[in-house]
Amino acid sequence: MRKSSRNNRNLVIESVAFGLGYTAVLIWGGSALVASFTDGEAGPYWPAIPDLRTDTTGVIAFAVAIVSLLVSKYLQLRRRGDAPAATTARPPGVALVQAVAETAAVLATGLVIYLSLNAVTHPITLRMELTHLWPAGPSEGTVRVIALGICLASVATRRYLRASASRPGPAATVPEGADEKADVAA
């Protein structure tokens, strides 16, 4: 396969994954708002699928957001690594770690905001299990603290990887007067 065809295919995958992730974040955000400000989380997210609860839809959307935004970010970092003027190409493993860190930072921040809104609107839920999908799972309060820890680790990792990215060195400079010496020697 020619390189430009492969690059175009990867760009299409990157773009579709980002669109899917963005939409999934919106679905999760809407579900989180319903859970924070109403008692309608057990109701259907979309009446066309009456057995799919709003809170279940939110959990599924959050999982889809993790996967799709991670794929999109990884492909973007690999694509940017191929650009000669910006940075030198990074090993795939480093690009993957950076993609994970950047995706985790965004989604953990959203989770902290949601659980903090829940704490404001109905603080009793901080001691309740996070979801009916994970019986005897961690409480909302525990998950909020875990999400804060993920924010700390992912933002620090992202900052480190971005700051330590090797950049191409400056263009070689010709010492002053070197051109004149070369003309005389010729």
Rounded percentage of the chain residues whose pLDDT exceeds 70 = 83
Q: Quick check: is 183 in a domain?
A: no
Q: Which helix (H) or strand (E) holds 55?
A: helix 54-81
Helices (H) and strands (E) in the chain, counts: 5, 0
Q: What are 80's two structure tokens?
A: 């940017």
Rg (the chain; Cα; Å): 24
pLDDT band, residue 119 (cuts 50/70/90): confident
Burial class of residue 106 in the structure, from the number of CB atoms within 10 Å of its CB (0-12 exposed, 13-18 middle, 19+ buried): middle
Mean pLDDT of 43-56: 88
Q: What's phi and psi for 148, nearest 5 deg?
A: -65, -40
Compute the half-sphere exposure of residue 41: CA atoms within 13 Å on the CB side of its CA: 20
pLDDT of 1 above 60: no
Q: Tell me if 159 is assigned to some domain.
A: yes
Does residue 149 belong to any structural domain of this protein? Answer: yes
Q: Is the pLDDT of residue 86 over 50?
A: no
In 10 A of CB 126, how many CB atoms?
16
The answer to whether position 174 is within a domain reads no
Q: Which domain holds residue 93?
A: 3-167
Q: Residue 85: what pLDDT?
A: 45
Whether 176 maps to a domain, the answer reads no
185 belongs to a structural domain: no
Tell me whether residue 180 is in a domain: no
What pLDDT score was predicted for residue 184? 52
Number of domains in the chain: 1
